[in-house]
Amino acid sequence: MAVTLSANYSKKLGLPGFSSHFFSVSVEVELTDLSQVQAECAKLYQLLQQSVDKEIKQVGFVPDEFFGIDAIGQGQDTQQGGPHQQHQNGNGSHRNGCSQGHHKGSDGHSRSSNGNSDSWNCTDGQRGFILRIVNENNIDKQEVEDLSQQLYQLGVKHLNKMQASQLIEELLAKAGKPSGRTRWSQPRNQQQPS
Amino acid sequence: MNSLLAAIPPREKIQSIEKPETKPPSEAETIAGLQKIVSSSRLGTFLQCRLKFYYRYVAQIKKAKTAALFLGNAVHETLKAWNKTRWKENRLLSLKELHDEFSRAWEEQSKEEPVNWEGEEEAEKLTGWRLLETYMRQYGLYLAIKPEAVEVPIEADLGNHGLPKLVGVLDLVQQRRVVDYKTSGTTPKEEQSAHTHEVQTCTYAVLYREANGQRELGIELHSLVKLKNPKLSIIELPPMSDSQETRLFHLMEAYVEGLERKDFVPSPGFGCMSCEFFDNCRRWS
């Protein structure tokens, strides 16, 4: 009677930006008798592990912290073949590191609720302002992420409104721009009082 | 442009990054803008004297910065640098570094807007430095306590209360406590300060809660007092109460309604002696 031995080796690795990827290999071999099982297991384990390790080093597309944010604003998110599609098809699972849910609160904060990794904890206006400063001043997004970690030990997306405001101040200073409070200013009125 | 900025308090002295308006706004447009965005200084000025508010924010009459304001700004900037360093670099500035920061802040302000010192600039500068030294000696050695925010602008949309947007800059937040720096000529008394600064402290509390989604644990007024022997006075206030919040909102309502009516009458009193618009006010009819 033939003995069938099935072996499977899987590995999941965490990646930056709350991503991960996963690779699994399965084989089936036929053995002539049960005495071969132990040796065959050892051989297969080594073989499969080496194979998986060799392939899983190729991480392919990895989204950065701000991946998809611009697309949301431009309505590109739903298009087939866009960055999301490519990511999902080519690189295994992409999980959200955020454990909270996401909803738009009455106070204007965007909060987690649906597991969407593109959700930010600050307001939409702050998110847009951060992205604009970064884009217009060619600031490296990793630098922004590092600054956020340095100040709050949190990723940019997880900053609350006060923390995001502080980050904006730091980014504006870095870019040599006046403080973000300029938007509160009154336009100059040149007339004299009676 | 620089001299025009003289009439505006430092926190609101703003150089817009937007393109300048080609056509100056009308008085009605200026008032409409002031109705949409309120800060504690705007609100406080309006409550103190509506004509002063008019001169400062509607007519935007330029006035030279006073020596006391100049000194206060330089001290404030230096404390900001000190807090940023202990936060971001996890170290305390040495006294020499602190002095360099103070000198830099002084120079920057001098370039921006000269003050008529009447020969007292060096004496005022020394006063400012002694205040900082005092602060460092009496307070500034707690590296373990990390700031949560330094000089951070925050805004709160109070539209769901039928009120304008509230804005402000928090000097320092740490351990869920909002700290505000002040320089003064006299030692503040706790109960008086709690009352006279209530608009400001409640504004900060509203802003803190809006931005953090939680109540502050308290508000601290750190006053650096310009005495012969400078001293530090720290007044610790409890979190804003519900009735204080209601009171602030009523004051904001009065502000919006007053601007709507163009209610800019003077409020003659003891405060007029130090008002920069004293002469303008005497001519008002």
In chain B, what residues touch A184 (CB-CB under 8 Å)? 12, 14, 37, 39, 153, 155, 167
Any domain includes B194 = yes
Any domain includes B169 = yes
A residues 92-151 near B, CB within 8 Å? 106-109, 150-151
Look at residues B263, B276, B157, B42 and name the one whose alpha carbon lies nearest to residue A186.
B42
Antiparallel, parallel or unpaired: β A102-104 and A110-112:
antiparallel
B residues 40-99 near A, CB within 8 Å? 54-55, 57-61, 87-88
Any domain includes B283 = no
Any domain includes B212 = yes
Look at residues A164, A62, A73, A153 and name the one whose alpha carbon lies nearest to residue A111.
A164
Taking only the tens place, the pLDDT of each residue in B132-159 is 999 998 886 677 789 999 999 999 999 9
E-only strand ranges, A17-79: 19-31
Taking an 8 Å cut-off on Cβ atoms, the answer to whether B21 and A180 are in contact is: no
Q: Does B169 touch chain A (CB under 8 A)?
A: yes
* B118 φ/ψ sector (left φ>0, alpha ψ -120 to 50, else beta): left
Taking an 8 Å cut-off on Cβ atoms, the answer to whether A182 and B14 are in contact is: yes
Crossing angle (nearest 10°) for helices B95-112 and B121-138? 140
Give yes or no for residue B17 having a pLDDT over 80: no
Any domain includes B24 = no
| Cβ atoms of A131 and A66 closer than 8 Å | yes
The CATH number that applies at residue B161 is 3.90.320.10
Contact partners, residue B39, CB within 8 Å, separation at least 6 = A184, B11, B12, B166, B167, B168, B203
Any domain includes B86 = no
How confident is the model at residue A96, as a pLDDT?
34
In chain A, what residues touch B173 (CB-CB under 8 Å)? 162
| Interface confidence (ipTM) of the complex | 0.85
Any domain includes B162 = yes
Nearest CA in chain A to B146: A151
Any domain includes B18 = no
- What is the rounded radius of gyration, in angstroms, for the C-alpha atoms of chain B? 19
Q: Which residue has the higher pLDDT, A78 or B55?
A: B55
> Which token pair is A100?
């909270």
Taking only the tens place, the pLDDT of each residue in B70-122 is 999 999 999 999 999 999 999 999 999 999 999 999 999 998 877 888 889 99
Taking an 8 Å cut-off on Cβ atoms, the answer to whether A181 and B173 are in contact is: no
Least confident of A18-22, A88-92, B129-133, B263-267: A88-92
pLDDT tier at A114 (50, 70, 90 boundaries)? very low
SS (H, E, C) B150-204: EEEEEEEECHHHCCCEEEEEEEEEECCEEEEEEEECCCCCHHHHHHHCHHHHHHH
How confident is the model at residue B154, as a pLDDT?
96
Burial class (CB in 10 A: 0-12, 13-18, 19+), B142: exposed
CA dist B200 and A113 (Å) reads 35
Look at residues A156, A153, A158, A184 and name the one whose alpha carbon lies nearest to residue A168.
A156
Distance of CA B14 to the CA centre of its chain: 13
Contact partners, residue B51, CB within 8 Å, separation at least 6 = B264, B265, B266, B267, B277, B281, B284
The pTM score is: 0.70
Q: Does A187 touch chain B (CB under 8 A)?
A: yes
Range of the domain at B193: 149-260
The DSSP output letter for A83 is: H
Contact partners, residue A192, CB within 8 Å, separation at least 6 = B59, B61
Crossing angle (nearest 10°) for helices A141-152 and A124-136? 130
> Which token pair is A50?
């080496």
Number of domains in chain B: 1
How confident is the model at residue B20, as a pLDDT?
52
